[in-house]
Amino acid sequence: MSIQVNDDNFDAEVVNSKTPVIVDFWAEWCGPCKAMSPLVDELAAEMGDKVKIVKVNIDENPNAPTKYGVRGIPTFMAFKDGEVKSTKVGGMPKDALKEWAESVA
């Protein structure tokens, strides 16, 4: 299962993580975000300890999306060693999401 992250714990959970992190920036009103949500949760279960997968609701937590230049959602960002290594914007099939996640893990 993915972890809900907010502006208060973003640095602790994502930037300072020793494990690679995939961040799903989403919003309740976003149709593609809702479609991706179960795929993201499945991927979190499949990837296990290889990568941490977290979700950030951009409406409730505006600081992190602003800091990292999120302009469209869903936006997926891969963090490793405290830095953004790769970004994907928009919905995608689970296979494509998994392949991308494995490439940055």
Q: What pLDDT shows up at residue 46? A: 93
Whether the predicted pLDDT of 91 surpasses 90: yes
Cα–Cα distance for residue pair 54/62, rounded to 1 Å: 15
Q: What pLDDT shows up at residue 11? A: 97
**Catalytically annotated residues:** 30, 33
Q: Is the pTM of this model over 0.85?
A: yes
Cα–Cα distance for residue pair 3/72, rounded to 1 Å: 21
pLDDT in tens, 10-46: 999 999 999 999 999 999 999 999 999 999 999 999 9
Give the pLDDT band (50/70/90) at residue 105: confident
Burial of residue 90 (number of CB atoms within 10 Å: 0-12, 13-18, 19+): exposed
Whether the predicted pLDDT of 73 surpasses 90: yes
Provide DSSP, 15-42.
Answer: IT-SS-EEEEEE-TT-HHHHHHHHHHHH
Query: Mind listing the domains of the chain with CATH numbers?
Result: 3-104 (3.40.30.10)
